[in-house]
Chains A and B, each alone.
Chain A
Amino acid sequence: MVSVVPSLWGYAIAGYVMTAGAIGLYVVALHARARRARDRAAAIAGRRRTSTPP
């Protein structure tokens, strides 16, 4: 029997690719921001330690 319903796979695949892309980009961005914040805090703490008299 021939189906009269169009396949419409394109819409489904576009949706899944968009979702995976958005989540993936957000996770990568979060980790990059966390790394930058950690480095910044460490740099500030390091500068203060070296500038504080014993």
Chain B
Amino acid sequence: MVSSLERVAGRITAPRGERILGWATLVAMAASAVMSLVVSPPDAQQGNAARLLYIHVPSAWLAYLSFAVVFVASIAYLATRRTRWDRLAAASAEVGVLFTALAIALGSLWGKPVWGTWWTWDPRITTTTILLLIYVGYLAVRRLSDSPARRARWAAVVGVVGFLDVPVSYLSVTWWRGLHQGTTIRLLGESTIAPIMQVALMTGVFAFTLLFLYLVTVRLRLGRLEDRAVAEALSPRLGQSAEALLEQEASARG
């Protein structure tokens, strides 16, 4: 299972795969922009400010998706001590921080015309801000140690524990009363959104998911190159791959 996943990941992250993914993402993002800004009508009460829905929700979705990938990759790293899992977690966390910050900023921009304020300590906003701080901390932890193995181990622990805030943030609109609206699209039961708006939203979610794959692919390549530079500088043995050197260090340190 893991090896077939790695084979698929290998194909996507190959230079040609990365280019194709980049173009597919660009086309999907353009389609999403047309759906959101041209096809979808303005909201009856919020006017055109409601169009922020089509980038705010996909940004929040990417934040959750990124941190779920960090969670899984961190567990996989702790179980196997393979460098590629740590690299995947680092790549995904960086993308997650960007989109969490974007979701908060877009929410603030939307809140001003709709709620009359840029900021309020609503449960969803507060738990999402905590999520952002946790993963900024995760990225900071990655800079604390010079040892790749120790850095990966500490980061993996934060990646696993930090994920606890994701379900809290998602369910906060159900658990506590606040200004933020509840779930709009339900997998089970009827959605409370007009069909054309739902199509525009789903197009956005799809485009942002492709964007996530593209960004993580490029970030993974960067991680491999950075590791290779470190291994080239440190390796006393010529002809050994960076991957092998880093994994040797990881297993030696337990």
Contacts and interface: CB of A to CB of B under 8 A. Distances in A.
A48 B238 contact: yes
Interface string A13-54: 011101100110011001101100110110011001000100
A2 interface: no
A34 B238 contact: no
A12 interface: yes
Interface in B79-100: 98
A13 to B, nearest CB: 9
B31 interface: no
B221 A34 contact: yes
B219 interface: yes
B229 A44 contact: yes
A8 B47 contact: yes
Interface string B220-250: 0110011011001100001000000000000
Contacts, number: 88
B135 interface: no
B222 A37 contact: yes
Interface stretch (B108-116, B142-150, B182-190, B193-201): B108-116
Interface residues on B, range: 35 or more
Q: Size band of the A side of the interface? A: 20 to 34
A45 B232 CA distance: 6
Contact of B51 (A12, A18, A52): A12
A33 B232 contact: no
A48 B211 CA distance: 38
B150 to A, nearest CB: 21
A14 B44 CA distance: 20
B243 to A, nearest CB: 13
A52 B238 contact: yes
Nearest to B106: A15
Contacts of A12: 37, 48-49, 51-52
8 contacts: A5-B47, A11-B110, A12-B52, A15-B56, A18-B106, A31-B218, A34-B222, A48-B238
The 7 closest A-B pairs by CB, nearest first: A37-B225, A8-B49, A41-B229, A8-B47, A12-B51, A44-B232, A34-B222
Given A5-B45, A11-B113, A14-B109, 13 more contacts: A5-B47, A7-B48, A8-B46, A11-B49, A11-B109, A12-B37, A12-B48, A16-B37, A26-B98, A34-B218, A34-B221, A41-B228, A41-B232
